[in-house]
């Protein structure tokens, strides 16, 4: 039984993981191949070389269970890792629940989210291969500021295409990126063919992650000294985030406890995978059973309402095709405040695990999400990022269900970031101005109709 009073479980710097965990060899079925956007044949490493450094491409297709974390990356991780695991005792009390609630706090990184875990690694490998500049997209600005920080640390120029609606909603994220020395544009721009095409169709386009990705990919594809970087979705990004779950496993052992359910909010799936995958390894290979839950917004419900199919990662159909839960590459989401969750697709590895019934999914409207975030803030003192607040909502609902059943339940969730740059969203909630958007079913059907037609691919 866990002790009676601890609220925080900390590891020493020496306990910082030495390897990232690659879930691929432990999957119940092999992942579907990634297809070339033009030929629709499986891509090889050389096809991806214009966009990514080879070290990351090899991680993308690796079947090794563990991949060593380079020492220069660990040295930077040390600044905020191992991150703390908290027992939410005051929240438990506020809810009057028999459940034990734990959260892994990734908001302690310099930019306030889990995203530097991969930004640092990606900048390191780009630097190693002599790349001078990285182009990327950002939604709410969390990814852009993480990569801007990593670029500053490794001496790499960073150019960010920021979704236009967020550029105006979150001006201070832009200021932070520029403080790190990055160049930031409101996407769609007139700087790329992709941006000009979108603007010709809709001069008032609010932008979307899919559009911003098209722009950044185009910049990388056209400039030999420039690579592209993505902050979620891809296998190597999920891989880098597994430091979160590896640490949490050690911390749950310190707490002398083990979760019945592990929860993460899911935009592209990286923070959730980072926490869940090491626990899924234990579930699949070590008999330590648990439930796994992904939480998404009703306004962008890729797993709960999307289809599992091959689709493009971007709007203008430049990226390779991956098999994933998707709302369609043409999807332009409503302007909800959890900007980091507004992506049309879900990471292929997460999608596969959802399809296999290992990761469950649930969707919430933004008002109940902010209500949970306020309850959490008042009890624990930490203001969650609107994205992370989706996980908070689900954790609270799990605790209330345990209370209704009069049973214990051990709940672990990822508090992927703090919300200090999102106080305008909190203010809108407190003023009663937030609208609950539900993604219409006709849109789901339209999205389905827009999917590329892929003949059945036989493997081997």
Q: Which residues bind to ligand PLP, rule: CB under 6 A?
A: 113, 115, 142-143, 232, 265-272, 340-341, 385, 387-388, 416-417
Closest distance to ligand PLP from the beta carbon of 391 (Å):
8
Closest distance to ligand PLP from the beta carbon of 84 (Å):
16
β-pairing, 100-105 vs 85-87, is antiparallel
Closest CA to 104 of 85, 80, 90: 85
Do 310 and 451 contact (CB within 8 A), yes or no? Answer: yes
Nearer of residues 153 and 275 to ligand PLP, judged by Cβ: 275
Closest distance to ligand PLP from the beta carbon of 272 (Å):
6
Do 15 and 341 contact (CB within 8 A), yes or no? Answer: no
Closest distance to ligand PLP from the beta carbon of 396 (Å):
17
Closest distance to ligand PLP from the beta carbon of 397 (Å):
18
Closest distance to ligand PLP from the beta carbon of 417 (Å):
3
Closest distance to ligand PLP from the beta carbon of 431 (Å):
23
Nearer of residues 232 and 425 to ligand PLP, judged by Cβ: 232
**159-to-113, 137, 230, 267 alpha-carbon distances in Å:** 20, 8, 12, 22
**417-to-386, 389, 391 alpha-carbon distances in Å:** 9, 9, 11
Q: What is the DSSP string of 383-427?
A: -B-HHHHHHHHHHHHHHHHHHHHT---EEEEEE-BB-GGGHHHHH
The DSSP letter of residue 381 is S
Nearer of residues 97 and 117 to ligand PLP, judged by Cβ: 117
Nearer of residues 232 and 351 to ligand PLP, judged by Cβ: 232
Contacts of residue 194, defined as CB under 8 A and 6 or more positions apart, other chains included, come to 188, 211, 214, 215, 217, 218, 314, 315, 316, 318
Closest distance to ligand PLP from the beta carbon of 266 (Å):
5
Nearer of residues 143 and 154 to ligand PLP, judged by Cβ: 143
Nearer of residues 188 and 269 to ligand PLP, judged by Cβ: 269
Q: How far apart are CA 387 and CA 17, in angstroms?
A: 26
Nearer of residues 143 and 312 to ligand PLP, judged by Cβ: 143
Q: How far apart are CA 408 and CA 425, in angstroms?
A: 34
For 56-90, letters b (16+ CB in 10 Å) and e give bbebbbbeeeebebeeebbebbeebbbbbbbbbbe
- Side-by-side strand order, sheet with 183-187: 183-187, 157-163, 133-138, 226-229
Token match 């420039």: residue? 226
Nearer of residues 259 and 267 to ligand PLP, judged by Cβ: 267
Do 391 and 265 contact (CB within 8 A), yes or no? Answer: yes
Nearer of residues 161 and 257 to ligand PLP, judged by Cβ: 161
Nearer of residues 47 and 137 to ligand PLP, judged by Cβ: 137
294 in helix, strand or coil?
strand
Token match 């439930």: residue? 291
Closest distance to ligand PLP from the beta carbon of 343 (Å):
8
Closest CA to 33 of 328, 460, 322, 347: 322
Closest distance to ligand PLP from the beta carbon of 222 (Å):
27
Show the tokens assigned to 361. Answer: 């999914």
Shortest-Cβ-distance residue relative to ligand PLP:
417
3-state helix, strand, coil in the chain (%, to 5): 45, 20, 40
Nearer of residues 142 and 214 to ligand PLP, judged by Cβ: 142
Closest distance to ligand PLP from the beta carbon of 407 (Å):
30
């Amino acid at each position: 039984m866990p002790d009676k009073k601890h609220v925080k479980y900390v590891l020493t710097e020496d306990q910082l993981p030495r390897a990232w965990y690659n879930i691929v060899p432990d999957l119940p079925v092999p992942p579907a191949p990634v297809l070339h956007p033009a030929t629709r044949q499986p891509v090889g490493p050389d096809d991806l070389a214009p966009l990514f450094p080879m070290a990351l491409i090899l991680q993308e297709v690796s079947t090794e269970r563990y991949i060593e974390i380079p020492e220069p990356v660990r040295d930077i991780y040390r600044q905020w890792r191992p991150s703390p695991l908290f027992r939410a005792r005051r929240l438990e009390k506020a809810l009057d629940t028999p459940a034990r609630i734990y959260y892994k706090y990734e908001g302690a990184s310099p930019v306030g989210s889990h995203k530097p875990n991969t930004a640092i690694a990606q900048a390191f490998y780009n630097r190693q291969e002599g790349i001078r500049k990285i182009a990327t997209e950002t939604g709410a600005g969390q990814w852009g500021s993480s990569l801007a920080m990593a670029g500053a640390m490794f001496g790499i120029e960073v150019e960010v295409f920021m979704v236009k609606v967020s550029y105006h909603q979150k001006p201070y994220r832009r200021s932070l990126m520029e403080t790190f020395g990055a160049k930031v544009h409101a996407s769609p721009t007139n700087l790329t063919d992709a941006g000009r095409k979108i603007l010709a169709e809709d001069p008032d386009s609010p932008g979307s992650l899919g559009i911003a990705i098209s722009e950044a990919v185009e910049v990388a594809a056209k400039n030999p000294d420039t690579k592209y970087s993505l902050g979620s979705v891809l296998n190597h990004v999920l891989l880098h985030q597994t430091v979160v779950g590896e640490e949490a496993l050690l911390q749950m052992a310190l707490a002398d406890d083990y979760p019945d359910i592990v929860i993460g909010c899911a935009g592209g799936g990286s923070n959730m995978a980072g926490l869940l995958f090491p626990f899924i390894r234990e579930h699949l290979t070590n008999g330590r059973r648990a439930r796994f839950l992904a939480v998404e917004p009703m306004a962008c419900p890729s797993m709960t309402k999307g289809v599992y199919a091959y689709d493009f990662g971007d709007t203008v159909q430049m990226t390779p095709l991956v098999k994933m839960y998707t709302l369609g590459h043409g999807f332009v989401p409503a302007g909800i405040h959890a900007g980091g969750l507004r992506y049309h697709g879900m990471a292929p590895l997460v999608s596969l695990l959802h399809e296999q019934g290992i990761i469950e999914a649930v969707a919430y409207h933004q008002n109940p999400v902010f209500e949970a975030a306020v309850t959490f803030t008042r009890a624990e003192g930490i203001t969650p990022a609107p994205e992370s607040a989706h996980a908070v909502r689900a954790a609270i609902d799990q605790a209330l269900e345990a209370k209704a059943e009069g049973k214990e339940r051990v709940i672990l969730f990822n508090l992927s970031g703090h919300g200090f740059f999102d106080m305008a969203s909190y203010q809108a909630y407190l003023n009663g101005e937030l609208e609950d958007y539900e993604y219409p079913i006709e849109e789901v059907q339209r999205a389905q109709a827009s999917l590329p037609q892929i003949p059945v691919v036989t493997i081997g």
